[in-house]
Amino acid sequence: MGAFLDKPKTEKHNEKGGGNNLSYGLSSMQGWRIEMEDAHCAMIGLPGGLKDWSFFAVFDGHAGARVSAICSEELLTEITKNEDFKKSGDKEEVAAENIKRAIKQGFLALDDRMRELPEVVSGEDKSGSTAVSVMISPKHLFFANCGDSRSVLCRKGEVAFSTQDHKPINPEEKTRIQNAGGSVMIQRVNGSLAVSRALGDFEYKNVQGKGPCEQLVSPEPEIHEIERTVADDEFVILACDGIWDVMSNEELCTFVRNRMMLTDDLQAICNQVVDVCLHKGSRDNMSIVIVAFESAPKVSEEAKKKEHELDMKLEEKIKEIVAKADPTSNAGALLSYVHHSLAVAEPAGLPPGAGLYAKRTTIEEILNKLNPTPTPPPPPSD
């Protein structure tokens, strides 16, 4: 199957934590890919006495996991050791530009340092990685994006901000690529790489006479500073393109808000998102971090009651569908038949943003309860 497995690896890596009046959860899963190349970083309290600051990031590696792993371990250090960051101190109201400059220089410094790795110099390692991060201070959110991983801010129930994916077909990106002597073919840099900005990927960064941000692939992050609104800011999502390939900004934010009314376990919600994306057809590694603020939706007994009623309705409907199904169907065929039949019926009250895909596990549990020993398929005829 080329770059894909025969069946997805669905084991998940999870983390969760909290502090500084926020909480976070994360989930990552290898999925259909032969290797797991994603990495992440979650840090409450930053160096230099900034105990009330936090940092979160997702790194989506390609052509190997080396660069993404180094980024997860060292990008924050490169940013916080920068002189612009150090001299900002606690004077945040006048230091925002310094912080943004330090973030940019941190990206560039790490990229420059990785170029000297022995395995890179020898040509043994040609990996690269996108990066999307958010640095959270008491007053501001500093978003940084390099590549096509993405972050969104949900404020008052709506998408208030989203980073922009760096794709070779974007006019600004295409111009830089062409000015560096490259081309964009089949929406890829030189017909090969699907992102136009990344850390690593040094075979695309060797154009003589061009600076580091003028190469075919640029390590320069796009940085946005957003003032926090404590009463309105609900949560931030950071995720790799394995998530965004199958869910829009609005769909994902709507789904996460809905799940927050059922549980305050952000790790569990991240797992649900990953499962939904797998069921919707994502073939990539998947990683997601949800950072919730004080104004995030709270668990609602009314919402839990409605979810229970939905599950009861689904069970009754599935009983009707199974009664009409081919009795010789194996478990996989029966699940597909039930899912298709439910999709046609369009049951009311499905989770917004994800629909029936959010109930795939529930459907499987109901089927196992109704038919604990599925009838095996008939033997092949002679």
Residues 187 and 194 sit within 8 Å (Cβ to Cβ): yes
Dihedrals phi, psi of 349, to nearest 5 degrees: 85, 15
| Per-residue pLDDT at 330 | 87
- Tens digit of each residue's pLDDT, the chain (382 residues): 347 999 999 999 999 999 999 999 999 999 999 999 999 999 999 988 899 999 999 999 999 999 999 999 999 999 999 988 887 655 555 588 899 999 999 999 999 999 999 999 999 999 999 999 999 999 999 999 999 999 999 999 999 999 999 999 999 999 999 999 999 999 999 999 999 999 999 999 999 999 999 999 999 999 999 999 999 999 999 999 999 999 999 999 999 999 999 999 999 999 999 999 999 999 999 999 999 999 999 999 999 999 999 999 999 999 999 998 888 888 889 999 999 999 998 889 999 999 999 999 999 999 998 876 554 545 555 4
| Per-residue pLDDT at 87 | 74
| Per-residue pLDDT at 375 | 47
Pairwise CA distance, residues 244 & 148, whole Å? 9
Give the dihedral sign, CA 38/145/48/234. negative
- Alpha-carbon distances, residue 60 vs 36, 199, 244, 267, 285 (angstroms): 9, 10, 12, 19, 8
SS3 112: helix
Domains and CATH numbers, the chain: 4-293 (3.60.40.10), 301-370 (1.10.10.430)
> And the tokens for 324?
């009409």
Pairwise CA distance, residues 84 & 105, whole Å? 9
Strands 188-189 vs 50-62: parallel, antiparallel or unpaired: unpaired
Pairwise CA distance, residues 214 & 220, whole Å? 9
| Per-residue pLDDT at 49 | 84
225 strand-pairing partners: 142
| Per-residue pLDDT at 2 | 47
In the chain, count of helices (H) and strands (E)? 11, 14
| Per-residue pLDDT at 382 | 47
Number of Cβ within a 10 Å radius of residue 357: 22
> And the tokens for 54?
């936090």
Pairwise CA distance, residues 98 & 92, whole Å? 9
| Length of the chain in terms of residues written | 382
Give the dihedral sign, CA 95/97/101/104. positive
Pairwise CA distance, residues 170 & 151, whole Å? 18
Residues 230 and 294 sit within 8 Å (Cβ to Cβ): yes
- Alpha-carbon distances, residue 253 vs 151, 250, 270, 311, 335 (angstroms): 11, 5, 12, 22, 28
Pairwise CA distance, residues 285 & 155, whole Å? 28
CA-closest candidate to residue 195, choices 238, 166, 164: 166
Under DSSP, the state recorded for 199 is: E
CA-closest candidate to residue 293, choices 162, 144, 138, 145: 138
Under DSSP, the state recorded for 214 is: G
